[in-house]
Structure 1
């Protein structure tokens, strides 16, 4: 009998110890509480990721700067990433890594509208809020899109500008980024629609070239345009890398005033070309504000302040209230009209960005 009670007491003691260990274990029922697993997605500051097209792009660096500013203001953790080359494959690798890191949101400037869909859909299925910015991905790959300006206005204004520069007559070419860049393609589409108007009947778009947002390739493509089309009157480069590269080529060849240059450029990179007359004027928006706005868009989704549906509004820090509007079969947040930079104001802006 004594052995029997000794065995019973031993078993009770063992079960008591096991029960206590189970209740205090990091993998037990208490893991979702205050003393739970510190790696949980819901613990600590929210993680906001930004993926740009490629490294070494001044425009992208400014967007990242604005994004990080916004995330710092809301007390989150900003994760800034970009592949070495502007490819969808490079961005897909980064997306997979961010899913593993359990980030709360991904903001991406897409290198391809459709190729990123499987990876971005996987991210959304994992509970990650996905927003595209600057260069959109398709609507099945995102919750909403942050647009730097009205695409129609961007295309139209550049044709109006080049027509004025060449007196409404002559051959023109476009130096774009990559052939898959959705923002570039949409702007070029609106340029082509604008050129269909009667007032542009004497302007001929001879070529759309692609410099892939790489400086050396953009230089080569500009040189090829000059060689292939000796009667070329103007180049439109709706990419900050392309317009700066074209500005250098035209300057080095002494073609300022002979072949006009306009498009979208950073004031800091284009100031000398505008001041010299190589580019009479060009346009852009503030890429810092574009990144900043995308940060607050992501935060509003993560915090549940809006759902990314048309009609939603949210506060975007120093930019004030922003509204979500329709975008085809999706939605977008639009910043405003492109801004004109010329000899009169470039001095004010070249030290800003």
Structure 2
């Protein structure tokens, strides 16, 4: 499976040592602002000027997460190109309570755009609604909340779910049992992808595949490693594990690479080439998938600026220009999709450096 979009976004060349996480959901628009003629709830003006000095705050699920670092670096590049002010805010724990604190801080600082990867789809909404009332455009990215104006999705749920099922099916010969090692129980993106996997598994083609367990490593490397160990103790005959979080897949691969299960238990999911290269080279992992996380943050930056300036409102069919990535269209429910995931294996992994 090959991503048809050319990967021409050139970002700062730092060497990424990467373990990661990953999004989905719907959006709602504040009906109370429908009479406004500009901004996220008015009438779109595709030619509206994006002002210099736009204050844009990026709130990942947690700070010091290598995946979030890469995503937000892309956001910072976009904000710089737009002559805006980039701020990254957040705590070190992936909790909704922590995010509420930083949403409020961004609002009090006069943020024009808040870009958030929500740890809970509902718990962050009262603070986001208040920030909107204070003039901020609200953009979801990576993991959506139920109160954003638009959502920048790295791919569609169906495409990601199907890709994950196709990979595990191919790697265990089309039949057998597998488990899912996810992030947090309330992560909207993880839950949406698992639900999409279950829909695909209901198809006749996958009648001989069985999902037997789902566990949560909370996007912590040590906890994910321990959950992988626990899976093998609970299901000693398990044929494979799918981890739709980059922290989880790296921990699972590390456990299997140094165990009796190497070559016996398939590990796949969502990861970065730099993070997973050693496990592909030593035969622990056959293939895995992901989008370009830098481009996700970059697109979110341009989408947020277009929303704040009134170039788009979040209505289906609106279009905007996203710098080096080109033109994008707002889809149903205010969703903007970066593109399909790319599958990485021994044949192409060295063509990518992120």
TM-score by length of 2: 0.84
Q: Does 1:86 align with 2:89?
A: no
Q: How does 1:147-162 map to 2 (within 5 A)?
A: 147-162=153-168
Q: Does 1:117 align with 2:89?
A: no
In structure 2, what is the Cα distance between the partners aligned to 1:101 and 1:342? Answer: 45
* Native 8 Å contact 1:255 1:278 kept in 2: no
* Native 8 Å contact 1:250 1:278 kept in 2: yes
* Native 8 Å contact 1:53 1:109 kept in 2: yes
Counterpart in 2 of 1:127?
135
In structure 2, what is the Cα distance between the partners aligned to 1:187 and 1:43? Answer: 37
Partner-residue secondary structure (3-state), 2:102: helix
In structure 2, what is the Cα distance between the partners aligned to 1:105 and 1:170? Answer: 47
Partner-residue secondary structure (3-state), 1:311: coil
Q: Does 1:284 align with 2:290?
A: yes
User: Aligned pairs, how many?
Assistant: 305
In structure 2, what is the Cα distance between the partners aligned to 1:146 and 1:294? Answer: 6
Counterpart in 2 of 1:267?
273
Q: Does 1:342 align with 2:350?
A: no
In structure 1, what is the Cα distance between the partners aligned to 2:300 and 2:310? Answer: 15
1:11-33 alpha-carbon deviations (Å, 9 max, x no partner): xxxxxxxxxxxxxxxxxxxxxxx
Larger radius of gyration: 1
Q: Does 1:76 align with 2:79?
A: no
In structure 2, what is the Cα distance between the partners aligned to 1:347 and 1:46? Answer: 38
* Native 8 Å contact 2:52 2:83 kept in 1: no
1:205 is displaced (CA, Å) by 0.8
1:177-200 alpha-carbon deviations (Å, 9 max, x no partner): 111111110100011111112222
1:307-342 alpha-carbon deviations (Å, 9 max, x no partner): 12111111100000111010xxx2111111100100
Q: Larger helix proportion, structure 1 or 2?
A: 1
1:60 is displaced (CA, Å) by 0.6
1:44 is displaced (CA, Å) by 7.0
TM-score by length of 1: 0.85
Counterpart in 2 of 1:248?
254
Partner-residue secondary structure (3-state), 1:172: strand
1:43 is displaced (CA, Å) by 9.8
In structure 2, what is the Cα distance between the partners aligned to 1:125 and 1:333? Answer: 23
In structure 2, what is the Cα distance between the partners aligned to 1:160 and 1:92? Answer: 38
Counterpart in 1 of 2:323?
317
In structure 1, what is the Cα distance between the partners aligned to 2:200 and 2:340? Answer: 17
* Native 8 Å contact 2:52 2:82 kept in 1: no
* Native 8 Å contact 2:139 2:148 kept in 1: yes
Q: Does 1:65 align with 2:73?
A: yes
Counterpart in 1 of 2:110?
102
Structure 1 gap ranges (5+): 1-41
